[in-house]
Amino acid sequence: MPTVTIDDRLVEVPAGTTLIDAGLEIGVQIPHYCYHQRLSVVGQCRMCLVKVEGMGKLQAGCSTQVMKDGMVVRTDTPEVKEAQRAMMEFLLVNHPLDCPICDQAGECALQDYSFKHGMATSRARFDDKRIYPGRERIPLGPTVVLNMNRCIQCTRCVRFTAEVAKTGEIGFLQRGARAEIGTFPGRELDNDLSTCVVDICPVGALTSTRFRFAERVWYLDKKPSLCTGCDVGCNITLEHRRGQIKRYKPRHNPDVNDYWMCDYGRSTFERYGELPRLQSPRQVKDGQTGAVSWDDALDAFHHRLRGRVEGAVVFLGSGFLTTEEAYLLGKLADQVGSPHRALYVEPSKPYHIPNLHGGVTGVDAAPNRRGAELAGMAARDGGVTAASLLAQGAGDVGVLVVADSDFGAAAHDAETVALLRRARTLIVLGWADTPLAKAADLALPVATHAEKDGTFVNVQRRVQRFRQAFPSGGESLPMVEVLASVLRRFDPSWKASTAGEVFDLMAAELPAFAGLSWKGVPPTGVALRELEPVAVG
């Protein structure tokens, strides 16, 4: 591979690497607006001009590639700095001074570069600024709002819809100094990936209707996590303030979602605010429903499993379980000798997320069906299925343990709840106080995915790890801790009680996870080995 020296720092990169990307490898940021790693190069903003030895003029870092050894590049010469100042002055001539009321403030490239590369004063007369009357707060579609006065015409949004989403709704209208972006007549920006144009817009021209005026970004605590909308397993940054999730943004993972995520996935955190929260353990005793302590609730859970008189013990899980939770549920089923390990997952509208390898398409409306099945929540010989349980009811079931109070629309359907309520004892674990949880003999509050650690296995059979973003509210506990406490009542020698400990135990036992460890799962995940199907007896 050729080498290039940028500001006296030597780096080896693949042939064809742009100077912008080569600089990022060694921590040299070449300012840019129009360039994006997944979009075509247009060299439009001219902010990335650099000095290349042997070339008479400044070169654009976005379109200049490293093709041979020995290239020497300077980004800090007086000539380069003057070019950057000139471009910033040009871009700010017509830009409104509305940072205090702009949603992009705090994460705006124009704002940042004006401090780093701009001038403290302007030679432009403020009454001569170009404006676009009537082009403020214009909905381009259901998810994106346009403020044309802030646009710097980098064309990222135009190229995204043409090259990534391949829907082509956005284009340039008018010409010259009056050029503006907009949707073509009779069309609106309404594809599955439409909010991605907000992510890549370097200024406040495009804003999200979902996040618009919701919070100032500098107040947000940002944690890496995973989307739970489907089984693509998009890597996200979960942004919250004091435990209240404000938005999901895509986090780069070239093997899964690349730089993108769908609009549906961005909305999935809203259910945490829409559904009532199960706050504390609740038990029906002597015909009365009341709150109980965790010790009493866990004792009751253990007693109901161990002391059943007639009827089968059935475990119903969902694709929202982490791999570790599914493994522990399977261990509980082993303790009571139950082959009934049903897993309910609703089908999803196919969501296709592009990446460099052709993209990933989600088909389940939950993130972890494959992980749950591999970990032990798969029906044994003679075991009931989720479909039969929901269709025919639990009339012959002695104890039904439902390990997700919000496993799907059925958990809110009165008829389905009545069918499950036919079990002699109904135990429900979950974060939401759904009609199913209200009908339970014993309801146990557990953490949402934002409040716990765990792993999901996506449609590619890639295991990905996520960590707790903030502590649980109320008396909720991670489900791993709850199930481990019940297992310990069956087997006092049981020790694993955290997601990491359970994962390592699972990896030592199950062939699909062999050779893995909790700490050894990389940030981008790791693909599981394909194994021959094994009959489960």
Task: Say whether 37 sits in a helix, a strand or coil.
Answer: coil
57, 269, 340, 389, 487 from 449: Cα distances, Å: 53, 10, 25, 26, 22
Q: At 307, is the pLDDT very low, low, confident or very high (cuts 50, 70, 90)?
A: confident
Instruction: Single out the residue of 443, 385, 394, 434 nearest to residue 414, CA to CA.
Output: 434
User: What is the DSSP secondary-structure string of 286-320?
Assistant: TTEEEE--HHHHHHHHHHHHHT--SSEEEEEEETT
Chain mean position to CA 305: 36
Residue with tokens 């989307």: 227
**What's the CATH architecture for 277-527?**
3-Layer(aba) Sandwich (3.40)
Reply yes or no on whether the pLDDT at 534 is more than 80: no
Q: Has domain 3-91 been given CATH number 3.10.20.740?
A: yes
Bridge partners of residue 241, in order along the sequence: 244
* CATH code reported for the domain at 100-105+126-273: 3.30.70.20
The runs of H, that is alpha helices, within 72-205 are: 78-92, 109-117, 156-163, 196-200
pTM of the model: 0.94
The domain locations on the chain are 3-91, 100-105+126-273, 277-527
Task: Say whether 502 sits in a helix, a strand or coil.
Answer: helix
33-73 confidence digits (pLDDT tens) = 999 999 999 999 999 999 999 999 999 999 999 999 999 99
Q: How far apart are CA 331 and CA 325, in angstroms?
A: 10
401-412 confidence digits (pLDDT tens) = 999 999 999 999
Q: How far apart are CA 448 and CA 269, in angstroms?
A: 10
379-406 confidence digits (pLDDT tens) = 888 889 999 999 999 989 999 999 999 9
Query: How many alpha carbons lie under 13 Å from residue 177 in its C-beta half-sphere?
Result: 6
Q: How far apart are CA 352 and CA 164, in angstroms?
A: 11
% the chain with pLDDT above 70: 98
Task: Say whether 383 sits in a helix, a strand or coil.
Answer: coil
The number of helices, as runs of H, and strands, as runs of E, in the chain is 15, 27
DSSP designation for 47: T
Q: What is the pLDDT of residue 126?
A: 65
Helix (H) or strand (E) holding 518: none
Q: At 536, is the pLDDT very low, low, confident or very high (cuts 50, 70, 90)?
A: very low
173, 372, 393, 484 from 488: Cα distances, Å: 67, 21, 31, 6
Q: At 311, is the pLDDT very low, low, confident or very high (cuts 50, 70, 90)?
A: confident
Q: How far apart are CA 522 and CA 187, in angstroms?
A: 42
